[in-house]
Amino acid sequence: MTATSAPRIPRRVRARRGMRESLAAYGFLAPWIIGMLAFTIGPVIASFVLSFTKYNLLRPPTWIGTRNYEQMLQDERLQHSLGVTFTYVVTAVPLQLVVALGLAMLLDRGMRGMSFYRSAFYLPSMLGASVAIAVLWRQMFGADGLVNQVLSMFGVEGASWIASPDTALGTLILLHVWTFGSPLVIFLAGLRNVPRMYYEAAQVDGAGPVRRFISITLPLLSPIIFFNLVLQVIGAFQTFTQAFVVSNGTGGPSDATLFFTLYLYQKGFPGFQMGYASAMAWLLLLIVAAVTALNFWLSKWWVFYED
C-alpha cells in the first residue's frame, strides 16, 4: 500500500497524503458505514435486547428477562422445527454437493455440448427459489400430480407426496438437489485450475480414474468444496419460501415441513410476538455460528491448501 509513495517524499508529506487517503476512503465507505450501523449492527443489537422482552408492536416492550429462552426449552413445536431443519440440512446439502461434484467430473475436459449442459443444469438454480417453482412442486407431488400420473403409467398408484408427513420433507430435499447447478458451475471453474500435468503424471504412474480423483482432484478442489459447504449450510438453515408455499404457510402436514424459519415467521409476523421471534432468531444465529465453526474445525482434516 505505502509502496506507491516513492521513498524520497518527506515523511510529513507522506503522512498528510495518507491522511487524505484515509479521508477519501471514509467518504467512499460512508454509505456502507451508515448501512452497517442502521441496517445491520443496530438491528442485531436491537434483536438481542428484544429477545428479553415481550413486545407485540401495539404496547411498548416489557422486560421479561430470560423468559423467552425458558419458553423455548418448553416449546415442543420449536424443538420439532429444529429437528426438521437439521434433517434437511444434513441431507439436502451433501446430496446436492455430491451430485454437483459428480457431474462436474463428467463434464470436465472441454467436451462437446458443454455449454448446453451447463445452461440446462444451471437454469433450475436460478428458478428454484421462486414461488412459481414451489407451485409447480405442489402440483407435481400432489395426489393427481405429474409424478403420480407418470407412475400410474407403470401401474403404480401413488398417494399425495406433499400431504404425507413421511414424504413431504423429501420433496423439498429433492427441490434443493434440483438446484445443483450453481455449485456445479463453481466446481467446473475450480477444475479448470487443476494443472493437467498432474493427471498426466499420475496416468504415467498407472493411477486409475478413481485414484486420480481421490489423490488429485479431491484435494485440489477441497477448498472450493469446503467454501460451498459452509455457505450452503448457512443458506439451508434459512430455507423458507419452498416450505412456506408448499404447506400454505402452516408447515404441515403434521408439521413435517415446519422449518425453524417458518415457525419464527409464524410467531413474529402473523403472531406479532416480536420478543419471542427475536429470541428464536438469536438461537438460529448461535446454531449457525456453531455449525460454521464446527465446519471450519473439521476442515483441518480434509481441506487441503496448496501453500
Partner 1 sequence: MKTEISATEAIVTGGGSPARRLRSKADSTGARIRSVLKHAGLTALAVLMLYPVVWMLVSSFRPTAEIFTTPGLSLEGFTLENYTLGWDALSQPFGRYLLNSALVVLGAIVGNLVSCSLAAYAFARLAFKGRRWMFGLMLLTIMLPLQVIIVPQYIMFNSVGWVNTVLPLIVPKLFATDGFFVFLMVQFIRGLPRELDEAARIDGCGHFRTFWQILLPLMTPALATTAIFTFIWTWNDFFSQVIYLTSPESYTVQPALRAFLDSQGQSSWGPLFAMSIVSIVPVFLAFLFGQKYLVRGIATTGLK
Question: Can residue 178 be called a binding residue for partner 1 (CB under 8 A)?
Answer: yes
**Number of Cβ atoms within 10 Å of the Cβ of 277:** 23
Question: Can residue 132 be called a binding residue for partner 1 (CB under 8 A)?
Answer: yes
CA distance 160 to 253: 11
Question: Can residue 26 be called a binding residue for partner 1 (CB under 8 A)?
Answer: yes
Question: Can residue 299 be called a binding residue for partner 1 (CB under 8 A)?
Answer: no
Nearer to partner 1, 131 or 294 (CB): 131
Question: Can residue 238 be called a binding residue for partner 1 (CB under 8 A)?
Answer: yes
Question: Can residue 127 be called a binding residue for partner 1 (CB under 8 A)?
Answer: yes
Q: Please select the residue that binds partner 1; options are 1, 58, 73, 156, rule is CB under 8 A.
A: 1
What single-letter DSSP state applies at residue 63? Answer: E
Question: Can residue 294 be called a binding residue for partner 1 (CB under 8 A)?
Answer: no
Residue 62 bridge partners (DSSP): 54
Pick the stretch among 76-84, 164-172, 270-278, 295-303 that binds partner 1 (CB under 8 A). 270-278
Pick the stretch among 71-79, 81-89, 135-143, 208-216 that binds partner 1 (CB under 8 A). 135-143
Whole-angstrom CA distances from 243 to 44, 104, 212, 277 are: 25, 29, 40, 18
**Residue 127 identity (one-letter amino acid):** L
Here the cell at position 152 is 400410474
Question: Can residue 166 be called a binding residue for partner 1 (CB under 8 A)?
Answer: no
Pick the stretch among 62-70, 81-89, 113-121, 161-169 that binds partner 1 (CB under 8 A). 113-121
Question: Can residue 40 be called a binding residue for partner 1 (CB under 8 A)?
Answer: yes
What is the smallest separation between the CB atom of 173 and partner 1, expressed in angstroms? 15
Site string for partner 1, 192-231 (x = CB under 8 A): x---x---x-----------------------x--xx--x
Burial (CB < 10 A; 0-12, 13-18, 19+), residue 184, is buried
CA torsion 122→123→129→135, rounded to 10°? -140
Burial (CB < 10 A; 0-12, 13-18, 19+), residue 116, is exposed
The number of CA neighbours under 13 Å toward the Cβ of 157 is 0
Residues 79 to 98 in contact with partner 1, rule: CB under 8 A: none
**Residue 283 identity (one-letter amino acid):** L
Residues 239 to 268 in contact with partner 1, rule: CB under 8 A: 240-241, 244-245, 248-249, 261, 264-265, 268
- Single out the residue of 115, 123, 126 nearest to residue 188, CA to CA: 115
- CA 206 from chain centre, in angstroms, equals 39
In the structure, how many helices (H) and strands (E) does the chain have? Answer: 15, 2
Question: Can residue 106 be called a binding residue for partner 1 (CB under 8 A)?
Answer: yes
Pick the stretch among 157-165, 207-215, 279-287, 299-307 that binds partner 1 (CB under 8 A). 279-287
Q: How many residues bind partner 1 (CB under 8 A)?
A: 102
